[in-house]
Structure 1
Amino acid sequence: MDAAKEEFLRDFGEHYGYPNGPKSVDQIRATEFKRLQLQDLVYLDHAGATLYSDLQMESVFNDLTTNLYANPHSQSDSSSATLDIVKNARQQVLDYCNASPKEYKCIFTSGATAALKLVGEAFPWSCNSSFMYTMENHNSVLGIREYALGQGAAAIAVDIEGELHPEISGETITTKISPHQVQRRKVAGSLKEEPTGDVYNLFAFPSECNFSGLRFDLDLVKIIKEDSSKILGISSVCQSGQWMVLIDAAKGCATMPPDLSKYPADFVAISFYKLFGYPTGLGALIVRNDAAKLLKKTYFSGGTVSASIADIDFIKRREGIEELFEDGTVSFLSIVSIRHGFKILNSLTVSAISRHIASLALYTRKMLLAMRHGNGSSVCILYGHHNSMKLCHEMGPIISFNLKRPDGSWYGYREVEKLASLSGIQLRTGCFCNPGACAKYLGLSHLDLISNTEAGHVCWDDLDIINGKPVGAVRISFGYMSTYEDVKKFVDFVASSFMSPQIHIDHGNQMKGPPPFLTSIYSLYLMNSSPNCLCPLNDKDLLFYCICIFAPLLPI
């Protein structure tokens, strides 16, 4: 074992690698993710999609080739058995979020996006309603705005701040909302007027921002639902109605699923391929029973009605919440498969997975922050890690950043991605379908965003620097099977590819230096430094480190 890993384990060994689990992370990688080693790949896009394991897929294959599963809408024995497994899968999803079946139901969808869309299209909007959402939200949440505005409701993006005020009894958090401009459309027949019935508002936030990794405090759920008057700024944009809360847990659920017994959100959207890689095309909406009763379903299909007549306007909808909202036959073979994914997570435990991944993310953040060019300037600018005043009590396993040259100009994130790919490192770049967080952390104004679009910039193109500013970022993210070796290869890649050495002056002539072997020593120093040390390496430090390395080798 090299010295750098020994140092890492001294700091993080208690949490890294599942020391109390059935297998160590090294055993998991060697036996269940052989494809990474065979292709010499480092996979760091678990926020986009995590990886399925060999053991998981072998269990799925054996299950599907051993048992007979049939359409659960049929009445055969195999169909009835399939229906029972689907019911068990619903319970497993509820258990994962500690949700009582007496209070919640699990509606299977084609993904987290479909779950969010279901809420948007069925929510009881009125011209007196408000849709409020944090700036840090995925486009799939922002899309709900179209349904709200289309019904004459107001839509407001907000920033959330938590301010600590010491008191004799301890510290209390006063939550403040900073609203952006109120959005409203002129919709025929929907002029705002005195409410004639119940008014419902919807507040949406992610459990973990997929751009920065910031985790929002789930106490927001109780504050919004039970006493929104405590939130400074909310009354200025919304003065009436009952608040309901939507959590986009598609990313956060992998390491910190919301405990719905403590934080009774009305709607929670999750995605299974982000939990354990397979199956894709399947998600779920966990919905409170009383909230589900308020949703307005228009379309009906096979499975959602008890009876219908073809040539007259007559339908009788099913009363069960799942049956009412699951159009057509559910993806039952995919639903059968999720139990094998949950088995993997349960064997390791979510808490152990969270600690393991957190150790890697913390170490990587500190290594990136410690990197300095030869002139002392920072190599890496991280997004989100410094916002301690936010109502976000910790960081998730996402690191979003951009890289700078010694003169302060930016490396393009697409350049980073392409070089990483050549080095066998798979990561993601861009805005990650989170335009609010992207603009917020990169300091892009409305004028910047509009001019960038007019310049031809669209999602997934190669325009990464416009008018001297990055229009996106580099993102790496970790999964339960990620290892220290993944981190080391990534950090070495950044140091060797983007960190410039000191410029020396020799008789009036500039020379790039130190020599390449000293640059390697600089990188080695970073890898061997304590992860708790964020101080830049100055010339004296480098000289002292070189003496320590080479002094024993000099002849006496």
Structure 2
Amino acid sequence: MRNSEYPMLKGITYLDHGGTTLTPRSLLNSFCHEMQAVLLANPHSDASNPSASAIMVEETRHQVLRMLNADPAYFDIVFTANATAAIKLVTEGFSGSEDGFDYYYHRNSHTSLVGVRELAARSHCLASNEEAEDWLAGRASNVLGEPVSRRSILFAYPAQSNMNGERLPLSWPGMLRDSPRHPNAYSLLDAAALVSTSPLDLSNYVLAPDFVAMSFYKIFGFPDLGALVIRKAAGHVFDHRKYFGGGTTDMVTCIGDAWVARKHSSLHARLEDGTTAIRSILALKCAIVTHRELFGGLGKVSEHTSWLAKRLYTRLISLKHYNGAPVCHLYNHPDSTYGDPTTQGATVAFNVCGSDGTWVGPWKVGTMLRARKIYLRTGTLCNPGGIACALGVDAELLRRAFNEGFRCNTEADMIEGMPIGIIRVTLGAMSTMEDVDVLINALYQNVTEHNDALKPSANDYNNKVDSVMTSN
């Protein structure tokens, strides 16, 4: 199946599915067929008589809700450019309020979640899972060090860390909603990393997040499209949003008394500014069907990638220099267990050490691997809080590193002998054990220091098990 569906992988080992996964040939064929068979008119051209494109958009919207087990009576889907655009849309709703909002975010937050703090009246980074749970339970409600505010509160966190794959509790939004200490608080879940290889179940609307951001290219490879899933009970947050775009209003005046009447038929009608991305949404419709046909659904993908990640993790920790010193230092959370998809995703984060314990810069390792057509991710991974905690560096050192010329994923990625970045492997639905073997052998042959008299064969690291999934 991999040879026929992913010809771009010939001679290449691709291990950056967390950046974007790859597009199968059958999805492109399906999309091209649909593009030639369906007339895609602008859905705004005749709203009283919906076109084929308008019907297709609504069908796809319901397909996404079904994929998430989300009842359309309680949830709506707003299509966006990507997960970051979905997060920005939520921020526009909260920042439009006269009183502003307070913002709490987990240390594992992607940069796109961290950036929300710039529009908040007050913000605080929850530096550990324990601090987050204490705050959610009301045991540390005044962590901002000021009197409790009457402003709305937005609490944001990733379902899965994009840095090391740690999966955080999906029970947190329910805890927040049940807490009497946080009566005007809302939850924003960044699900982009999680849903790339795992299902998300929103069937219990009482305990579900108020807002979920996601990107479809991380699941399917194509199209470049995202979505914001909104719990309708929280939809009033967007009453404060200032901006409006084409297609989201019933009436606008410009001369004299300037006013606007926004659409209220649905949240997506009010929030999808401009012409709907009809071609991308058609591609999404094709992608959902194709992905299910190829892989049997995200549940099967989760089983497969969890199995592979556990084996990769085990192989990396078994790599030793001639003197027994470890080759790799891994950055998994102590509460996460490889092979357990409730606590750990298909991501392995590590750095490389010499036999004397000195660090090898991640940029240098990444360059060596790319020369061997092995593609993964190095740098700070758009996860500033997670990286700082994993490496044990503080804001002062990072500022000094910046002033001395450090920039993410460049050759100057060491300060005082310590890396300011990591190496990240993310597996996908079409990853195989052979991909793991290629990476391990490259590290063994090019990084591991050997005593020639005791040097084993590189073949000792081969274990040609292909997959726990049935391939076509």
TM-score w.r.t. length of structure 1: 0.76
Q: Distance in 2 between matches of 1:519 and 1:341?
A: 47
User: Counterpart of 1:444 in 2: which secondary structure?
Assistant: coil
Q: Separation in 2 of the partners of 1:379 and 1:58?
A: 44
CA contact (8 A) 1:159 1:177 kept: no
Match of 1:380 in 2: 328
Q: Hey, what's the Cα distance between the residues in 2 that align with 1:495 and 1:193?
A: 55
Q: Decide whether the 8 Å contact of 2:88 with 2:116 is kept in 1.
A: yes
Q: Distance in 2 between matches of 1:146 and 1:163?
A: 20
Corresponding residue of 2:227: 284
In 2: Cα distance, 1:215 partner to 1:388 partner: 7
Q: Secondary structure at the match of 1:402?
A: strand
The 8 Å contact of residues 198 and 301 in structure 2, kept in 1 or not, is answered as no
Q: Look up the match of 2:470.
A: none
Q: Deviations over 1:40-97 (max 9, x none)?
A: 1011100000000001101111110222111111129996110000001111111111
Cα deviation, 1:376-397, whole Å, max 9, x if unaligned, reads 11111111243449x9942101
Once the two structures are superposed, residues 464-503 of structure 1 have per-residue CA deviations (whole angstroms, 9 ceiling, x without a partner) of 211111100011111101111111111111111111113x
Q: Are the structure 2 counterparts of residues 175 and 357 from structure 1 closer, same or farther at C-alpha, using a change threshold of 3 Å? A: farther
SS in 2 for 1:202: strand
Larger mean Cα displacement after TM superposition, 106-115 or 119-128: 119-128
Within the candidate set 456, 460, 467, 1:525 is matched to 460
Change (3 A) 1:385 1:499: farther
1:395-410 aligned within 5 A: 395-410=344-359
Where 2:128 maps in the other structure, the secondary structure is strand
Task: Report the Cα distance in structure 2 between the residues aligned to 1:369 and 1:287, rounded to whole angstroms.
Answer: 41
**CA shift at 1:180, angstroms?**
11
SS of equivalent to 1:487: helix
Indicate conservation of the 8 Å contact 2:199/2:299, yes or no: no
Alpha-carbon distance change, 102 to 240 in structure 1, aligned in 2, over 3 angstroms? closer
- Find the counterpart in structure 1 of residue 275 from structure 2: 329
User: Aligned pairs, how many?
Assistant: 453
SS of residue matched to 1:117: helix
Cα pair 2:107 2:386 within 8 Å, conserved: yes
Indicate if the aligned counterparts of 1:162 and 1:176 stay in contact, CA closer than 8 A: no
**2:422 equivalent among 452, 460, 473:** 473
Task: Identify which of 30, 48, 51 aligns with 1:59.
Answer: 30
CA-CA distance at 1:261 after TM superposition: 1.7
**Within 5 Å, which residues of 2 pair with 1:409-448?**
409-448=358-397
CA separation of 1:107 and 1:440: change in aligned 2, threshold 3 A: same
Give the 3 Å change call, closer, same or farther, for CA 245–194 of structure 1 in structure 2: closer
For residue 143 of structure 1, give the secondary structure of its aligned residue in structure 2: helix
Distance in 1, Cα, partners of 2:379 & 2:403: 18
Larger deviation: 341-350 or 326-335?
341-350
Residue pair 1:302, 1:328 contacting (<8 A) in 2 also: yes
| SS, match of residue 127 in structure 2 | strand
- Select 1:133's aligned residue among 105, 108, 113: 105
Q: Which amino acid aligns with 2:260?
A: I
Q: CA-to-partner distance for each residue in 1:491-518, whole Å, 9 max, x for gaps? A: 111111111113xxxxxxxxxx32xxx5
Indicate conservation of the 8 Å contact 1:157/1:180, yes or no. no
CA 413–72 in structure 1, closer or farther in 2 if over 3 Å, else same: same
**Which residue number corresponds to residue 96 of structure 1?**
67
What residue is the counterpart of 1:109 in the other structure? 80
Correspondence 1:258 to 2:200: yes
The C-alpha deviation readout for 1:435-492, integer Å capped at 9, x for no partner, is 0100010111122111111111122322121111110001111110111111111111
In structure 1, distance between residues paired with 2:145 and 2:278? 40
Name 2:167's counterpart in structure 1. 215
Q: Where does residue 53 of structure 2 map in the other structure?
A: 82
The CA deviation at 1:266 is 0.2
In structure 2, C-alpha distance between the alignment counterparts of 1:49 and 1:456, rounded to whole Å:
29
SS in 2 for 1:52: coil
Corresponding residue of 2:2: 29
Question: What residue is the counterpart of 1:123 in the other structure?
Answer: 94
Paired with 1:275 and 1:385, the residues of 2 have a C-alpha distance of: 24
Contact 2:137 2:176 in 1 (8 A): no
The equivalences for 1:341-360 within 5 A come to 341-347=287-293, 348-360=296-308
Write the distance in 2 (CA, Å) between the matches of 1:357 and 1:388. 15
Contact persistence 1:106–1:284 (CA under 8 A): yes
Equivalent position of 1:545 in the other structure: none
In structure 1, what is the equivalent of residue 469 of structure 2? none
Kindly provide the amino acid, as one letter, of the partner of residue 72 in structure 1. P
1:307 equivalent in alignment to 2:251:
yes
Q: Which amino acid aligns with 1:46?
A: H
- Counterpart CA distance in 2 for 1:289 and 1:93 is 16
Structure 1 residues 207-216 or 248-257, which shifts more? 248-257
**Distance across 2 between alignment mates of 1:92 and 1:465:** 47
Paired position in structure 2 for 1:235: none
Larger radius of gyration: 1
The question of whether the paired residues in 2 share the 8 Å contact of 1:71 and 1:82 is answered with yes
Question: Could you say what the CA RMSD is over the residues aligned between the two structures, in angstroms?
Answer: 2.8
Please tell me whether the aligned partners of residues 127 and 153 of structure 1 are also in contact (alpha carbons under 8 angstroms): no
Which secondary structure does the structure 1 equivalent of 2:64 belong to?
helix
Letter in 2 for 1:290: A
1:161 to 130, 135, 146: 130
For 1:294, the equivalent position in structure 2 comes to 237
The 3 A distance-change label for structure 1 pair 193 and 487 is closer
- Find the residue that maps to 1:107 and give its secondary structure: strand
Letter in 2 for 1:33: Y
| Paired residues of 1:137 and 1:436 also in contact (CA < 8 A) | yes
1:24 corresponds to: none
Q: Give the direction of change, closer, same or farther, for the CA distance of 1:71–1:209 in structure 2 (3 Å limit).
A: same
Give the AA of the match of 1:115.
Answer: A
Q: What code does the residue aligned with 1:277 have?
A: G
1:142-186 CA-partner distances (Å, limit 9, x unpaired): 1111111xxx2343433113999xxxxxxxxx97988997499xx
| Offset from partner CA, 1:276-334 (integer Å, 9 cap, x none) | 11111x11000011211222221122101001122131211100211111111011110
Equivalent residue letter for 1:90:
R
> Which structure 2 residues correspond to residues 456-535 of structure 1 after superposition, within 5 A?
456-502=405-451, 513-514=452-453, 519-521=455-457, 523-527=458-462
CA distance in 1, matches of 2:125, 2:319: 39
Relative distance call for 1:471 and 1:101 in structure 2 (3 A) is same
Q: Contact 1:204–1:246 at 8 Å: present in 2 too?
A: yes
Identity among equivalent positions (%) equals 32
> 1:34 offset after TM fit, Å?
1.6
Alignment CA distance shift 1:30-1:154 (3 Å) = closer
Q: Secondary structure at the match of 1:316?
A: strand
Give the gaps of 5 or more residues in structure 2: 466-472
Which residue is 2:262 aligned to? 317
